[in-house]
Amino acid sequence: MPILLYKRSSLPGFGITLGFSVLYLGLLVLIPLAMLVIKSMGMTWSAFWQTVTDPRVIDSYKLSFGTALVAAVINLVFGLLVAWVLVRYRFFGRRVVDALVDLPFALPTAVAGIVLTTLYSSHGWIGRWLEPLGIHVAYTPLGIILALTFISLPFVVRSVQPVLEDLAKEVEEAAASLGASRMQVFLRIILPELWPALLTGFALAFARAVGEFGSVIFISGNIPHKTEITPLLIFSKLEQFKYAEATAIAVVMLGASFVLLLAINVLQRWTTSRMSL
């Protein structure tokens, strides 16, 4: 009669661990989001619609999502470049560069905003050279893109880096030996393997940039209809004790973020399934 052997888990059974997981996620994520929706439901539909479609609010939506999208696309390209250099080359100071990638994680975002404003203002170390060229960074949408690019860069690098490290170089060498150019090797062999990781990094960078607050308020100038982001507008409503209006705008941001992230995840799964065929 065969003896069934099983490996005892170091954690409790499935039911207990699942219960703790659901409780933990509920307390930290589900309940706060539910309260946000419930608070906004205290408004009438007409008041809700009037709040979320106010011209000032619409302009803040365009600025927040537009600059976040541009910053995520920039990091999609340059994040891949940084990850490639860190993985494929060995050079003096490589570990320092690798550590600097995580600096936006450790640096308070308000400090990052102050530093960027100091550097790129009209009298800053970099801004004073850009002003004669007609390039204005501080207190413009360009400054917001700069801040969002800074804080979201690590998401792309850290998503792509482990995938690059696991790629077998033998396949690239075989393709090169068969006459493939470097561009063909990258586009047909390397890029398909990196595409799911790139999409993941892009989604994380975009989500992080949409909700950014600290680094943007200093460099944007917070001019209504021009450089006022939606998180700052929500904060302004809270300061004015307009809690229902603040939650209504937040619900719209939450719903839009969910839809965009869902679309990106569906695209990522579709890409992964196509690659497995």
Range scoring the smallest mean pLDDT among 139-148, 224-233, 263-272:
263-272
Amino acid 157 reads: V
**Residue 215: domain span:** 62-229
**40 belongs to a structural domain:** no
d(CA 231, CA 234): 5
pLDDT band at 7 (very low <50, low <70, confident <90, very high): low
Residue 12's pLDDT band, with cuts at 50, 70 and 90, is low
User: Does residue 201 lie in a domain region?
Assistant: yes
pTM assigned to the model: 0.84
Task: Supply the pLDDT for residue 77.
Answer: 93
Of 233, 258, 259, residue with least CA distance to 246: 233
56 pLDDT band, cuts 50/70/90, is very high
- Structural domains in the chain (count): 1
Residue 270 falls inside a structural domain: no
CATH for 164: 1.10.3720.10
Region of poorest pLDDT, from 4-13, 21-30, 144-153, 164-173:
4-13
Non-local (6+) Cβ contacts of 147 within 8 A are: 112, 113, 116, 212, 215, 216, 219, 220
Q: Within a domain: residue 105?
A: yes
pLDDT of residue 15: 75
- What's the pLDDT score for residue 221? 83
User: Residue 16's pLDDT band (boundaries 50, 70, 90)?
Assistant: confident
* Tens-digit pLDDT profile for residues 116-145: 988 998 888 898 899 888 888 989 999 999
Specify if 77 maps to a domain: yes
Q: Is 231 exposed, middle or buried (0-12, 13-18, 19+ CB in 10 A)?
A: buried
In a domain, 265, yes or no: no
Q: Is the pLDDT of residue 6 over 50?
A: no
What does the pLDDT look like over 158-196, one tens digit per residue?
Answer: 999 998 888 877 777 777 777 777 788 787 888 888 888
